[in-house]
Structure 1
Amino acid sequence: MVAGDRTLPPAYAHPHASEEARRIAEDGLILRTQVGSGVHGTAISGQDDRDEMGICLEPQSFVTGLARVPSGLDARARLRFEQYERHTVWDQPGGLANRSDAGDLDVIVYAARKWCRLAVSGNPTVLLVLFVPDEEVVFRDEAGAELVANAHRFVSRLAAGRILGYLRAQRAAMTGGVGTHTNRPELAARHGYYTKVAMHALRLGLQGVELMTEGRLTLPVPDEDGAYLRAVRRGEVAQADVLDRIDRAEARLVALSTRTTVPAEPDRRWVDEWLHRSHVAYWDRTR
C-alpha cells in the first residue's frame, strides 16, 4: 500500500470536473499513479507536464441506483459518473483552450467499472497503471494493490490490436498525414517531422512487443530503447531511420499477435468478482 495524497484539483466548468465528481473520486480512490512521458522515461527536462491516472470505487447509489453528478458547474444538467478529469492549465487565461506545458498537472480518475471496461478491451493507456513502479505511485490501498497483483488477468491479445491501431495512427501523423492533429507544430518545423509523435509511435511498438512477449511492461522503458526514444524526441534521429524502426516493431507485433502465449481474452470472471467484492467492501466501510 502507498498512503499518499488523495487530493485532486478543485472543480471546474468542464463536464467531468464537477465538485460532486471530485468528491467521489477522492473518497473512493484506490490507485493513483504517474503516467505519460514521466513514467515511460521519455520526458525531456523542462518540457513536460505531469500526467496522472487514478481509479476509484463509486458510492452505492451510483452503481445500484440512478444517481448522477452535475455536468461541471451546471447543476441543471446531470450525467453518469465515469471519471473526474482536471488539467491545472485550465486555471490560466484561456481556460479549456490552453495546452498543458512544463509544470502543469493533468489528472484523470476513472470509475473502476469504466476503467475495467477499457482495460479488458486491451486499451494500452489504462493498462499502464498496472505496471508503474512503486516510486511513481501516488496512492494505492488494498483494493488497488489487489488489482495490480492481478495485472495478468487483464492482459490479452486484444491489446495487440489496440496498440497496432494507435501505432499506425501515430505513424501517419508523424509525417503530417491525413487526420494529423498535434499541439506541437513547432517540432515538425524544426526537424522535418513530428518528433514527439514519432517517439510515441515507436514506444507503442516496443511496448506492444514486450507485452505480447512477457505479458507485462517494464517501466520506464529499458536503457537502450529508452535512450533511442529520447533521441528521437530531441530530433537527433533521421526520419527514415525512425520509420524503419517503427515498421520493424509493427511487423514483429503483428506476428506476435497470433503466436504469443498471452491469453486470447482477459479473465472477465475475475474482473467481475473483483468489482463486486471491492464495491461491497467500500460500501460497508462508508455506511
Structure 2
Amino acid sequence: MDDDDAKDLPEQREPAVLLSGIVGSTAYGLAHAGSDLDRLGVFAVPTEQLFGLHRPAESRVTTAPDSTLHEAAKWCRLALSSNPTASELVWLPEDCYEVRTALGEELIAMRRSFVAAGPVRSSYLGYATQQFRKMVARGERGDAPPARQAKHARHLLRLLEQGVHLYRSGELRVRVADPESLRAEGERLAAEPSAAEARLAWAEDQFSRRSVLPDAPDERPATAWLRRVRLAQLAVPLGSATSTLV
C-alpha cells in the first residue's frame, strides 16, 4: 500500500458513548463513605468496524475507576433478557446520569418494551438465588468475612425487592425503598443465611401470580433503534469507499 492509498482509507474513529451513569450502591441508596463508584454505559462502534473479518469487542471493562460499557447490540440483548445489572441503566434516578445523548434518551423512552414477565421472574429470582447459595456455601466453610456475607444478603434482598416491584407494577425502582431496613435485614441474614429461604419463598409466590407485564418482550423497538444507531455511526456512505461525511 502506498501513501496515496493510505490517505483514501477512512479514519479510525473511537466508539461513541450513548448513555452512561453511576450504578451500584450509589444508585441503590446503599453507599457509605468507603463505597466504590461504579459506572455503566452503552456505546456504539463506528458502523464500518462491523464489516470486517473480526467483530469489535462488545464490552469494555476497566477498574480504577470501575466502569463497564456494553456495545449497543449487546446491551439490547441483555436488557431483553431482563438482566438486572444492564437493565437498571435506563431506570436510574435522574441525578445518576452522566452522559445522555439523543439516542440515549430514545433508549430511556422505550425502556418498557424490554421487560416481560417470564424474563423478569427468571432473572431476578435466579440472581437472588445465586447470592443465597454463595451465602450458604461460604457460611458452611466458615471462610467468609461478615462484611462479605452481609453484601451477599443485601444483593439478595435488593434483587427480590426490585424484581417483585417490576413484576407487579411494570416499573423498575432502582433506589431501594428503605435502605436502613434493608441493611438491618442484610446483617441478620448474614448471621443466619438459612433464614433467607423465607424471603425467596415469598418472592416465588409473588412471581407465580399474574403480572402487569407482557409474556414476552417486544424486540421491534430495539431493532429499529439499533438501525438508527448504525446509520448515525456510519461515516462512509454505501457505495463510496473513499468519501466521508462531514
TM-score (norm 1): 0.70
Q: Which residue identity does 2:23 align to in structure 1?
A: V
- The two structures, once aligned, show a CA RMSD in angstroms of 2.8
Are 1:266 and 2:217 an aligned pair?
yes
**Which ranges in structure 2 are unaligned for 5 or more consecutive residues?**
1-12, 237-243
Which residue among 21, 27, 34 is the counterpart of 1:39? 27
Which residue among 9, 29, 33 is the counterpart of 2:17? 29
Q: Which residue identity does 1:57 align to in structure 2?
A: A
Larger relative contact order (CA 8 Å, sep ≥ 6): 2
Whole-Å Cα distance in 2 between the matches of residues 136 and 247 of structure 1?
29
Report the count of equivalent residues: 224
Contact 2:18–2:101 under 8 Å retained in 1: yes
Aligned partner of 2:134 in structure 1 is 173
Larger radius of gyration between Structure 1 and Structure 2: 2
Which residue among 165, 173, 180 is the counterpart of 1:218? 173
Q: Percent identity?
A: 30
**Which ranges in structure 1 are unaligned for 5 or more consecutive residues?**
1-22, 69-79, 89-104
Q: Secondary structure at the match of 1:185?
A: coil
1:111, CA displacement in angstroms?
0.4
1:178, CA displacement in angstroms?
9.7
Q: Which residue identity does 1:28 align to in structure 2?
A: A
Aligned partner of 2:151 in structure 1 is 196
Residues 73-130 of structure 1 deviation map (CA, whole Å, 9 limit, x = unaligned): xxxxxxx320111001xxxxxxxxxxxxxxxx21011100111111111211100001
Q: Secondary structure at the match of 1:261?
A: coil
Whole-Å Cα distance in 2 between the matches of residues 67 and 59 of structure 1?
14
Whole-Å Cα distance in 1 between the matches of residues 198 and 24 of structure 2?
21
Query: Structure 1's 58 and 244: CA in aligned 2 closer, same or farther, altered over 3 A?
Result: same
Query: Structure 1's 217 and 179: CA in aligned 2 closer, same or farther, altered over 3 A?
Result: farther
1:240, CA displacement in angstroms?
6.7
Aligned partner of 2:78 in structure 1 is 118
1:244, CA displacement in angstroms?
5.7
Residues 137-193 of structure 1 deviation map (CA, whole Å, 9 limit, x = unaligned): 01110000010011101011212101111111111112226999xxx93226xxxx8
Aligned partner of 1:50 in structure 2 is 37
